[in-house]
Amino acid sequence: MRVSDTLIERDIQDSDAGFLYYLLATRSPAACISHRALPTWDQHLAYLEKISNEWPAVKMVCENHSSSPVPVGYYYLTPMYEIGIHTERGKERYHREILEHIMRVHKGKRLLANVAPSNEFHHQLYRGAGFRLVQETYEV
């Protein structure tokens, strides 16, 4: 499915596991709220299997500039319609296009985004798209 003029989405395939692990391993600490440490490869594969079967959307996002689209990231929606968008470093410019696509496809759904306090990039992204702050979460 077309995300924008430059991006397409597709279902995640088994062959994407390595790229997705790379994205996780290179994610900025400011972007992490659910990982304190990098999961093992087996934990990663189990997680991908679970979300692919149980979540409303888990999609690879690819640049569509050739006959062979090139993956640049992925997005997901949890069962509570919490959004996650992750791209390679240097491809953050695509986050807005991906978010706008999610909002078009899931129009009328209550969409949520959990953003780490120090992740100013995503705070600005979601505020700019009309999201409003609804909670702050604390942990011990």
- Per-residue pLDDT band at 93 (split at 50, 70, 90): very high
Is residue 42 within 8 Å of 52, Cβ to Cβ?
no
Is residue 69 within 8 Å of 17, Cβ to Cβ?
no
* Domain definitions of the chain by residue range: 7-128
CA separation for the pair 60, 55 (Å, rounded): 14
CA separation for the pair 14, 19 (Å, rounded): 10
> What kind of fold does domain 7-128 have according to CATH?
Aminopeptidase (3.40.630)
Closest CA to 58 of 68, 71, 48: 48
For 13-57, write each residue's pLDDT tens digit: 999 999 999 998 888 766 666 667 788 999 999 999 999 889 999
Give φ, ψ of 127 to 5 degrees. Answer: -60, -45
Residues in the chain: 140
For 104-130, write each residue's pLDDT tens digit: 999 999 999 999 888 899 999 999 999
